[in-house]
Structure 1
């Protein structure tokens, strides 16, 4: 069996897609029949412009061949992202032109990866397994200006329909996506393999209970700082309100980082520390020093459907979780994560009230860890992908 895996982000890059797809490819390599090949086409690390790490352009390990495509220097804007993806897609088509496969897998947080995977599958006349980590068509209604959306949305919707209908199997990482796909594609059968907790965070999970002994507690956010997270709306006024009581440490980068810095400056905050992205080993040290873990999504309707991967590593670490989310994410946190406090996004007063409900202690969340171990989830997903590759093309 020969499987093509199209993953824009892969190890050693820093992103939810990278962590998930790396674990998935490792599991596929464990499950595929002897003599199989897994061909990964990804990019050289590019998730954050401020984070760089060396990686081989081609790497072969056992049955896995990884080919990494270099991209032009870019920031996180939509134009730069489009140019980067065009470079990636062009190289993918060249690299796969003379190859044959039994199955095409694509992991898509942006629509065009779905299209690319569907096109390669159509060209090769082979089954297509589509893993959807975000609903691009739904999100752009909130993010892009109305005049652009009015013209672009019908085009993107038709492309989405083509890609999804091309897929032999579709997986969605959030159950919040299910109503959207059932409405757009009546009768569609969906899998629901979520993100999960990687082993590095399972190993770091607390074994007992600890209580911080500090006069000023540290609130940590680690991740992207773009329009989707909306940190520029919530952090400056929230940090100002809690000066002398809380110190906010924000680790990462993204398209709204400069605006976040400017809003912090305008608010006159003295208790916000901005750190560049770090690898996971360094991140674990930051987690260990933190007292409260912070999560936030912007106040857009589309984000009521998502389930951020960050929830899983936060939940495993046993720290109090302070989350400005709504919709499915809010329900998931309330149901599954003890000692968590949810507030409406961008609402400083609600955030203040939510904080008062948290117990300032770190303790093991055994049930959560048992249920959402990445290894357990990925094992079942890999098995389904391999079975899809054995089915006849429709």
Structure 2
């Protein structure tokens, strides 16, 4: 008898996000291992990650053993309230659609916890096995993102939801080993796997490029690509860094998010001509931009919760062979120092540290073939798919 798997992901291609690429890679890995014995339903949303790069996709799309169903969300922005409303709309529709079929396993890949909670709810209703892929520690983040008196009450509420979801799961994957220090003491009886983010196939043949020309007067081309929110804190470091470096560097910031306006205001207020803000772009164009850059820039805000995380962007940065300047701390800083060659770390929001770290970089691109092979997304998702299929085979 054919088994049925339901995959819940708030983002899915053609949406541009780490979660969407990860979800698609897992679906591809599952299809490659099932030989027509399993049906997979993907429940997701119409592209909504970036309003500047939104495009309609088919509401229902079938690809072999996979059926993708995308629900329409109300217009929303990056604020907490708007995002909550958008997720509520997704949850209501997903819950209704999931009730039309019977599933053996529910898989939820979740960054802000609530997709995991939704997966737990649907799995309970269906008496299905539950596999959670946890990509963030939302409870810790809430305490720092929201000032008193809201942070602690919100953390308490989400903490209850987290215990309810994690406690129900048959298997929980953590996207980084840095999360173990949080989850293991709280859930000592839970089984955790560690299938990390990785390097997508698009980056396997990424050209390393030529070293930066040290022509007199030629500015260093520094590129950041990704989300621009509180978590990245770009508005706290890019304007100051650009002002200090002046004509010696040109910053290209590609992306969007809740702190884009704050960054734009800071750039305008300081009358900076060496910072260019570009809306999100397709991966093909992004690869070209990586090739043109001299240095790739990465930054996380100075929050204690971020000492446990490992930015997904780091994997594609590393695959390019380009020099990397990373403002990170904790687990991410240790990872960069031990795993990524020709990369320098500075403490988040530390202007002087960023200047010093940049001075240590070699501007000659160097292939990181061992890194790419070790963190191949295809290999990592293959192992994760095996875990999911094991649950499916054990399902009644």
Task: Decide: shared fold, TM above 0.5.
Answer: yes
Helix, strand or coil: the match of 2:247? Answer: coil
Residues 232-283 of structure 1 deviation map (CA, whole Å, 9 limit, x = unaligned): 0000010001111100000000000001111111222110000000010111
Per-residue deviation at 1:389?
1.8
SS of aligned partner of 1:219: strand
Q: CA deviation at 1:36?
A: 2.0
User: 1:30 offset after TM fit, Å?
Assistant: 1.3
Query: CA separation in 1, counterparts of 2:158 and 2:242?
Result: 39
Aligned equivalent of 1:340: 343
Rounded Cα–Cα distance in structure 1 between residues aligned with 2:178 and 2:115: 21
Residue 5 (structure 1) aligns with: 7
List aligned pairs for 1:63-82, cutoff 5 A: 63-82=65-84
Distance 1:337 1:294 in 2: 14
Aligned to 2:307: 304
Could you state the TM-score of these two structures normalised by the residue count of structure 1? Answer: 0.97
SS at match of 1:242: helix
Q: Confirm whether residue 16 of structure 1 aligns to residue 18 of structure 2.
A: yes
Equivalent position to 2:86, from 75, 78, 84: 84
Q: CA–CA distance in 1 between the matches of 2:16 and 2:192?
A: 27
- Per mean C-alpha deviation after superposition, the further-off stretch among 3-12 and 51-60 is 51-60
More deviation, 33-42/316-325: 33-42
User: Which of 257, 261, 281 is matched with 2:260 structurally?
Assistant: 257
In the other structure, the counterpart of 1:143 is: 145
Q: Does 1:233 align with 2:236?
A: yes
The secondary structure found in structure 1 opposite 2:230 is coil
Aligned to 1:212: 213
Q: Is the 8 A contact 1:9 1:47 kept in 2?
A: yes
Kindly provide the CA deviation profile for residues 350-386 of structure 1, in whole angstroms up to 9, marking residues without a partner as x: 1001001100111101111111111111111101111
Structure 1 counterpart of 2:119: 117
Selected match of 1:129 from 131, 135, 150: 131
- What is residue 242 of structure 1 aligned with on the other side? 245
Q: Are the aligned partners of 2:44 and 2:70 in contact in 1 as well (CA < 8 Å)?
A: yes
Distance 1:353 1:265 in 2: 26
- Whether the aligned pair in 1 keeps the contact of 2:342 and 2:366 (CA below 8 Å) is no
Query: Number of residues paired by the alignment?
Result: 392
Distance 2:285 2:224 in 1: 14
Q: Which residue of 1 aligns with 2:364?
A: 361
Give the CA deviation at 1:75: 1.0
Instruction: Tell me the distance in 2 between the aligned counterparts of 1:368 and 1:57.
Output: 38
How far apart are 1:209 and its partner, in Å? 6.2
1:33 CA displacement = 4.4
Q: CA deviation at 1:156?
A: 1.2
CA distance in 2, matches of 1:211, 1:237: 23
CA shift for structure 1 position 203: 1.5
Deviation at 1:97, TM superposition (A): 1.3
2:100 and 2:367 map into 1 onto residues whose CA distance is: 51
1:293 corresponds, among 289, 292, 296, to 296
After alignment, is 262-271 or 209-218 more displaced?
209-218
Q: How far apart are residue 98 of structure 1 and its match?
A: 2.6
CA contact (8 A) 2:140 2:155 kept: no
Q: Do 2:171 and 2:190's aligned partners in 1 also have CA atoms closer than 8 Å?
A: no
RMSD after superposition: 1.2
Separation of aligned partners in 2, 1:269 and 1:98 = 55
- Could you say what secondary structure the match of 1:232 adopts? helix
Provide structure 1 residue ranges, at least 5 long, that are not aligned to the other structure.
none
